[in-house]
Amino acid sequence: MRKFRLKDLPLSRQILILFMILTSVLGIGLGVGYPLAVKQYLVSNTYALLEDEFYTLSEHITFNENNELLPVPAAAPYFLQLLLSRYEYSFDMIVYAENGKELGSRSTERIPFSDSRELFARAAAHPNSQLQHGTLERGDENYLFVSKRMDYHGFPYYMVLFSKEQELNQINSILTRQFLLVFSLLLLVSWLLAIWFSGYLSKPLRSLEELCKKIARRQFDISLTMDRGDEIGQLARSFDSMKNQLKEYDESQGYFIQNISHELKTPIMAIQGYTQGLLEGVFTGPQAEKGLAIIMEESKRLEKVVGQLLYLTKIESFSQMVQIDKVDLAEMMHLLKQRLSVLNQNVEWELNLPSELIVEADGEQLSTAFVNIMENQLRYAKSRLMITGRMIGQNAVISIANDGPPIEEALLPNLFQRFRKGKSGKHGLGLAIARAVFEAHKGTIVARNDPDGPCFSMTIPIDFKG
């Protein structure tokens, strides 16, 4: 049986489940912690209110000639009376003589005699100079009280102001129910929003999935752009860029098949034709020797095309197998000049290079790439071939230009693809090999039409990073 994993679910379901778990944990924590916090808050504030009420009532305590307590007015503010009456909450008061006799009280409900005696005992046991805060636990009913020994014109007495904890629990219960009701409504609304939000996020991803399936079926004429500035929009734009590159690659592969078929078909047909003619005796004497020469020439041409294809495939597929060493590009340019200047003796070479231009690279591969570019340039140059080199930052930059006709604008974007060649081109593989070599070295090659003529610019990192 397959183990359940959250990441195997759809993204919208993951978002919804995680959000529900988070809000549920938050709700449980609040459900447990809120009543405790409210209870502590009510107890603390009850003592503060009892103390304030104690000092207010103490100013209105009076006795008759028989030391009996006269009626005490309600001293609490009107808004507090309304608030407390709503929750059935009250402050009760009992005044005791020094011997424990009850002199009078103000209470909503008579408390048991034993509770009254215990309150007096607590009050009498406390130092005279301080206001006492205390709790009296009596089974079903607990009391929060404040007390102090007072004096009325030489007549000592104890005043105890108390509140029943049960009333606090009732208030706590009411507030907790109200809070949980509001929280439950908010939780329900948030879950509905989470359901909508998960769908809002997953819908464009599902759209991308469908579009990617179309791309897998080579349906490239679709748009992957989305009117979004977030990460999903960036992902869609990245997919769109990938789609365009796949489309170009697919087209280039088709173009490659067409051209290689043509490049290989021509020499093969020539070889077959002359071989058949020799076998059937059509060519004799000098014609036979000419046929054999053509067969040899076409076979060499075929061998060169196949060799270049194998070399290009090797560079593109196994670029990590390059042999790295210190290479002086300035010295390489001078050696290539001596080697290639005989190809077109009407062209003057102009070299503008530093004394040394050292990089970490595969010298054999770079030499092959530069030879292909220079042969291309010499083929179209009228009278000059200019080579410049310089160091820019952590890169060596070599530019090779000639004064020949400009490169066709329609050809420029695809100049370095296989079998893309101009009118005087040979096999259309030389520049593709050059591009593969520079890319294997994490460099670049670009072609442009300058005012003086076509120019190829190559960038090679000083330190090999392949």
Phi-psi region of 214 (alpha: psi -120 to 50; beta: other; left: phi over 0): alpha
* CA 154/CA 54 separation, integer angstroms: 20
Give the CB-side neighbour count of residue 347, counting CA atoms within 13 A: 26
**Sheet containing 453-461: which strands, arranged edge to edge?**
348-352, 384-392, 395-402, 453-461, 444-450
Backbone angles phi, psi at 170, to 5 degrees: -65, -45
The pLDDT of 326-334, averaged and rounded, is 90
| Beta carbons of 69 and 157 less than 8 angstroms apart | no
Q: Please indicate whether residue 331 or residue 322 has the higher confidence score (pLDDT).
A: 331
Over 70: is that where the pLDDT of 247 sits? Answer: yes
Q: For residue 449, how far is the Cα from the chain centroid?
A: 41
Which of the 8 DSSP states describes residue 343? G
Phi-psi region of 352 (alpha: psi -120 to 50; beta: other; left: phi over 0): beta
Q: Which residue in 117, 104, 107 sits closest to 67, CA to CA?
A: 104
Q: What is the pLDDT of residues 223-235, one digit of tens each?
A: 766 677 667 777 7
Over 50: is that where the pLDDT of 83 sits? Answer: no
Write down the mean pLDDT value for the chain: 76
Q: What is the pLDDT of residues 260-293, one digit of tens each?
A: 665 666 677 777 776 777 777 766 777 777 777 7
Q: Label residue 435 exposed, middle or buried (CB < 10 Å: 0-12, 13-18, 19+).
A: buried
Q: Which helix (H) or strand (E) holds 297?
A: helix 286-317
| Beta carbons of 204 and 232 less than 8 angstroms apart | yes
| Of 8-22, 353-367, 385-399, minimum mean pLDDT range | 8-22
Over 60: is that where the pLDDT of 166 sits? Answer: yes
The pLDDT of 48-66, averaged and rounded, is 77
* CA 376/CA 402 separation, integer angstroms: 10
| Beta carbons of 100 and 117 less than 8 angstroms apart | yes
Percent of the chain with pLDDT over 70: 78
Q: Select the highest-mean-pLDDT range: 79-83, 210-214, 252-256, 279-283.
A: 210-214
Over 80: is that where the pLDDT of 94 sits? Answer: yes
Q: What is the pLDDT of residues 421-446, one digit of tens each?
A: 555 544 567 788 788 888 888 889 88
Over 50: is that where the pLDDT of 78 sits? Answer: no
Q: What is the pLDDT of residues 370-416, one digit of tens each?
A: 888 888 888 888 888 999 999 988 899 999 999 888 888 777 777 77
Q: How far is CA 118 from CA 78, 105, 122, in A?
A: 32, 15, 6
Q: Please indicate whether residue 96 or residue 246 has the higher confidence score (pLDDT).
A: 96
* CA 315/CA 321 separation, integer angstroms: 8
* CA 15/CA 193 separation, integer angstroms: 11
Over 50: is that where the pLDDT of 77 sits? Answer: no
- Predicted TM-score of the model (pTM): 0.44
**Residue 255 confidence (pLDDT):** 58
Domains and CATH numbers, the chain: 11-173 (3.30.450), 231-317 (1.10.287.130), 319-461 (3.30.565.10)
Percent of the chain with pLDDT over 90: 4
- Both tokens of 395, joined, read 């890169």
Confidence of residue 165 (pLDDT cuts 50, 70, 90): confident
SS3 at position 147: strand
The strand pair at 358-361 and 384-392 is best described as unpaired
Q: What is the pLDDT of residues 181-198, one digit of tens each?
A: 877 887 788 778 777 877
